[in-house]
Amino acid sequence: MLLEFEKPIAELEAKLNDMKHLAGDNDKTVNNAIQALEKKILELKKETFENLTGWQRVQLSRHPDRPYTLDYIYALTTDFIELHGDRNVSDDKAMVGGFGTIEGQTFMLIGQQKGRNTKQRQIRNFGMANPEGYRKALRLMRMAEKFNKPIITFIDTPGAFPGLEAEERGQGEAIARNLKEMFTLTVPVICIIIGEGASGGALGIGIGDRVYMLENTWYSVISPESCSSILWRSWDYKEQAAEVLKLTAKDMLQLKMIDGIIKEPLGGAHTDAKWMSEELKRNILTATKELNKLSAEERIQQRIDKFCAMGVVKE
């Protein structure tokens, strides 16, 4: 799939391909032109991806080829045992979790899971968890605590599911409980926004000692589309909404709501999933090492202090 802002790059790449076909082995002028064009493409790519608007990053965060939670988990771990169910109602397939081994260390890995095709999307409910999903996540986090294993959460959701049964079974209560309980976890907690970080549905597994965003993701209180429909009473202002919501990783870091940005390969995480997983692993291991130097009490205190400092008021 080609996004609008990728078209000029794709056009040049098509031209480059043609030239390569035409060029003979020793055709010096054509080879020089090829080199020049390759350089031009790289520059254009750099310029495009460094200056993406909020809305363009939202588009990248939803790219159909983008790696999802389980893609990362399988790439990061040598062993992974998925654990199911909230022990109350059901197993929410929009939220996955289990123990996995990264470089010999056991972690609890949890995250929202999206589907790749129509059937999968239905099974995964588009990554929109029900209360059972949040309760399953909390069950697994408490288990991680019991066995003293650090927790990693992968956040990728268009929101908690706004359905009838979700309300009956207490969607609000499930998310609220997670927020409170995550502040008391004695083990290190690392949260990574790998795609969409929509509102309470994202925050419900997002209270961590370290909160990172991948470069082309978004995190806010509402999606740009819904914001547009509420504030402008029309779906047509999503680009503007994406700007004013300050939802990019850069904005969120500047406003001190996250702890860092994890770089993506040029062109987005989906263009080189292997590189992306390596980069994730590097960040996870560094953060874990730092967090392991602190006592549980220190981590909890710092976690509370960090979130309590968020917000800007006038007095």
Partner 1 sequence: MSWFNRTDKGILTPTEAKREVPDGLWFKSPGGKIIHTRELKNNAYVVPEEDYHVRIGSQEYFEILFDDGAFTELDANMESADPLKFKDTKPYPKRIKETQEKTELKDAVRTAYGKMSGMDLVVACMDFSFIGGSMGSVVGEKIARAMDHSLKHNKPFLMISRSGGARMMEAGLSLMQMAKTSAKIALLDQAKIPYISLMTDPTTGGVTASYAMLGDFNIAEPGALIGFAGPRVIRETIGKDLPKGFQSAEFVLDHGFLDFIVDRRNLKSKLTTLLKMLAG
Residues forming contacts to partner 1 in the complex (CB under 8 A) are: 160-164, 166-173, 175-177, 179-181, 183-184, 199-200, 203-204, 206-207, 219-222, 227, 230-232, 241, 244-247, 251-252, 255, 257, 303-304, 307-308, 310-315
151 touches 64 (CB < 8 A) = no
Q: Smallest Cα–Cα separation from 170: which of 132, 114, 222?
A: 132
Residue whose CB is less far from partner 1, 9 or 191: 191
Q: How far is the CB of 18 from partner 1 (least distance, A)?
A: 45
235 Cβ partners below 8 Å, 6+ apart?
A: 225, 228, 229
CB of 49: closest distance to partner 1 in angstroms?
A: 23
The DSSP element (H or E) to which 66 belongs, if any, is none
In whole angstroms, the minimum distance from the beta carbon of 226 to partner 1 comes to 9
Q: How many CB atoms lie within 10 A of CB 74?
A: 13
Is 246 buried (19+), middle (13-18) or exposed (0-12) by CB count in 10 A? middle
Closest to partner 1 by CB, 102 or 174? 174
Q: Side chain identity at 256, as an amino acid letter?
A: K
Of 192 and 252, the one with the shorter C-beta distance to partner 1 is 252
Q: Which is nearer to partner 1, 41 or 110 (CB)?
A: 110
At 142, give phi and psi (nearest 5°): -65, -35
Nearest residue (CB) to partner 1, 26 versus 234:
234
Q: How far is the CB of 159 from partner 1 (least distance, A)?
A: 9
What sign for the dihedral angle of Cα 266, 272, 277, 282?
negative
Taking Cα atoms as reference points, which of 285, 277, 283 lies closest to residue 66? 277
* In the complex, minimum distance from the CB of residue 184 to partner 1, in angstroms, rounded to a whole number: 5
What is the closest distance, in whole angstroms, from the C-beta atom of residue 176 to partner 1 in the complex?
Answer: 4
Q: Environment class of residue 33 by beta-carbon count within 10 Å: exposed (0-12), middle (13-18) or buried (19+)?
A: middle
Comparing CB distances to partner 1, the nearer of 182 and 262 is: 182
Q: What is the DSSP letter of 248?
A: B
From residue 66, give the alpha-carbon distance in Å to each of 82, 98, 272: 21, 22, 10
The burial class, CB within 10 Å (0-12 / 13-18 / 19+), for 58 is buried
Minimum CB separation from partner 1 for residue 89, in Å?
12
Closer by beta carbon to partner 1, 55 or else 307 = 307
DSSP 234: S
Nearer to partner 1 among residue 64 and residue 311 (C-beta):
311
Nearest approach in angstroms of CB 95 to partner 1 is 16
Q: How many C-beta neighbours within 10 Å does residue 247 have?
A: 28
